[in-house]
Each structure stands twice: as structure tokens, then as C-alpha cells.
Amino acid sequence: MKKNLSILLGAFCCTLAPFVFAEKYQTIDLPKENAKTLKRYGAELYIASKANAYPIPHVLNRLDGNGKIETAQEWNNIARNKILKFYQTQVYGAIPPRPKSLKFELVESSDNALDGKAIRRQYKIISTDKFGTFEFLVLLYIPKNIDGKAPAFVYPNFWGNYSLTDEKEIPLPDFRYSGGKKVKIKEKERGSRDRLPVRDIIARGFATATFAYCDVYPDLVKEDGAKQSIYKIFHKDPKYPECMPFPAWAWGNMRVMDLLQTQPEIDCDKVAVVGHSRLGKTAIITGAYDTRFAYVIANNSGCMGDALSKRKYGENIHAIANVTFLYWLLPQMKKYANNEGELPLDQHHLLATIAPRMLYCASATEDVWADPEGELLGLMHACPAFALFGAKNFPTLDVLEIEKPFHGDVAYHIRKGKHNITPYDWKNFMDYAQKHGWNPKKK
């Protein structure tokens, strides 16, 4: 199926070495990790011959062991709910509830944004519950060049709304989080990040809504951020493990959807949730638990995103739960660290809960840590659930052909380059939306 390809390795100065690929991506042995890496993770992470270490449970196997799910109705009524309960109680934690009071305060707007091509609105989402009030800002752009309502992409960002556009009306916060620490923001950072190509998206007739993910739960890396997060309005003393980050970030996406439902220019039947890296994991969680999102896009989401944990290549449960991000997963997951064979479910189960809605997974050739082949395999193993709803056009490992996207009943591409989300990725996300009828009519 996959050819043996020649691969030119670049200078290996760290675990994630840059290299040049031929036409198809191939899982390879990287040069032996340096002593620091081995000491930190306690395992060699990139041994192709040891990948696919465990059998992958069929996504339609009943969790009680009594046969297989046969129909879409059985999937929705039996399997889906059990899968979601497992991920809620054993993996990520429970998503906070919708607050008792939810308000949307318009703090700034312009009908002549982005050189006259868009409407800009900045909202403060104000959530109030038993223990107080919590606020965070959302930046919304709506295209002016279409007739009718606009489909929309909800995209949580890493640095802050100011980093995505050079428009002076976007306020600069006092600080942002970087590596878990507070970093003072400088004016020169305005518009310095292009991970959300707002002008390209608006030109295609789509709206965008974005917020800084750390505004709803600070990603402090070495400690949990629950006490500074949205959880403080629901719990008198928010603490790990009751108050987890991924559910909080997904909660933020859901509250943005609530906001979009108040906007007359937005087609709320055509709203996508998009995320990169840890926020790609978040996008999957969001779409799994909130069916209002018609389209789920996970970009470079890797381990505990769309990559299969049982494959044992690149980042793994041990690296997340015991070394790098100690507060991301529930303590229950530690028993599967270097013990993935005992996992009753794998990430394809969570991906499958998105059926029959639109699902797009994307990888990058140099993002070995995220295991591109494992990401595609996660999508492939989810496909039988989509087939229950009549879908037929699914990917195989042949679609690891670089920058030749597969746009079937689910979608996948692998692009050249590093761990990032780029205009190439966004172009394909929008192409796939338009293939599925998200075609805003231009004036």
C-alpha cells in the first residue's frame, strides 16, 4: 500500500527533527533520542517497527462485549452515550454547565472593518452562577459581500484576539500566558500571528469568531489553573481533578455558539469548531458533546486528539499525564501510561461520536510528535460509525500523499511543514465546507 520512500533527514538537534519527505509520508525510525529526552520520557518514542503495538478495538463493538452495533439508531441510543460517559469520567472530565445567567455585552463594533469588507463586533460574554460572575472577550467578523446568512468558524486562539489582526480597536490585555507564565504584551505583537487568516476567510464569505483560550482556563502547564478559570463561578473551591482544562476550553466554544445564535447574520446550522494542537483536541471534545456544531476540524491534534494511543509512536499518555501536562487528563488515565493495551477505548471512538456530521483531521509532515499516520488511522477506524448513517467514501493509508487532500464523507490532508495551522490548512477546511453546500452567495 505504501511504498518504501527515501527520506532525507535534516540536522537532528532535538527530538523533533526537521526533514524532507518524498510524495508520501512514511512512519520512520528517527535517530536515537538524546539522553535528555530518554531521561525525561523513559522510552524511545520513534521506533517504526514497534508502532501499532496493540489491536485496535472495532468502533462498533458493544462496550458490554455482546456483539456489534448494527444501526444508526443503536449507535445514537446506546454506543454514543456510553463512549461520551467514558471520556467524561475517565479521560478529560465533565464539561461545566451553561451558567444560570448568560449575557452578551457589545463593547465595540464597526460596519467598515478590514478595509470595508467586514462587520466587526467585540462582545463580552458574561456568565453568572452560584459563586459569582466570569467574563471573556470574543472577536467576531462577518463578511459584507454576501446575500443571506454566513456560515461561521469558531476558533479559540493561543495569544489573544489582538494577535490575529492589526486593527487598533482590538484591545491589548496587560499580559498573556506563555509556557504557563505571564508575559507582558507589547504593541508590536498586534497582528503578529497569522493562524487565523481572517481576510481570506471573509473573502470566501465565511464569518469567524475567536477568543483566547487561556481567558476561560489559564494553561499553567506545571499547575492547574482551575481557581482562575470559569470553574470559580460553579465551585466554591475549584481544584484538580474536579475542574479540568479541556472541558473548560470546550465550554468556551459552546458559549461562543450561544453568542452566534443571537446574531441575525449567522447561519447557525453551518457553524464549525476549529482547533490546532491542544485546541484540536478541544475541538473534538466540543463537537462530541455539542451537536450544534455541524463541522468539527482537528488540526495536528495528536495524542489524546485524533491519534491512536494504542499505536505507541510519538507523544503518548505517559508523556502527557506524568511528564509534560500533568493537569490535562484525569488521574485515572495514569494507569494507562505505558500500558495502552489495557485501554478499553481509543481516540477513534471519540471521533466516531461526531457522526454523521462533517469531520476533518489534518496533519503535517514534520509533526512527528503528533504521529501523522496515527492521526489518519484514528479517523479511518472511526469511519464504520459514519457508515451507519449512509456514508461510503472513506480514506485509506494511501491518502498520506502529501498535499493531496482527501475530501470524501470525512476529510483528511497532510501538508509539508511543522506543527502549525496555516493558510493551506484553512483553504482546505473552507473547500470542504463548500463541497458540502456551505456556499455563501456573493452580492
- The Cα–Cα gap between 9 and 162 comes to 37
Does the annotation count 419 as an active-site position? yes
- The Cα–Cα gap between 393 and 177 comes to 42
Contact assessment for residue 123 and residue 259, using Cβ atoms and an 8 Å cutoff: yes
Does the annotation count 309 as an active-site position? no
Angle of the 245-260 helix axis to the 278-289 helix axis, nearest 10: 60
CA distances from 336 to 64, 330, 345, 399 (A): 20, 11, 11, 30
- The Cα–Cα gap between 379 and 383 comes to 7
From the candidates 277, 301, 309, 363, give the one annotated as an active-site residue: 277
H/E segment holding residue 395: none
Cell representation of residue 378: 484514528
By the 10 Å C-beta count (0-12 exposed, 13-18 middle, 19+ buried), 293 is classed as: buried
Cell representation of residue 120: 466587526
From the candidates 110, 235, 407, 419, give the one annotated as an active-site residue: 419
Cell representation of residue 64: 458490554
- Catalytic residue numbers read 277, 419
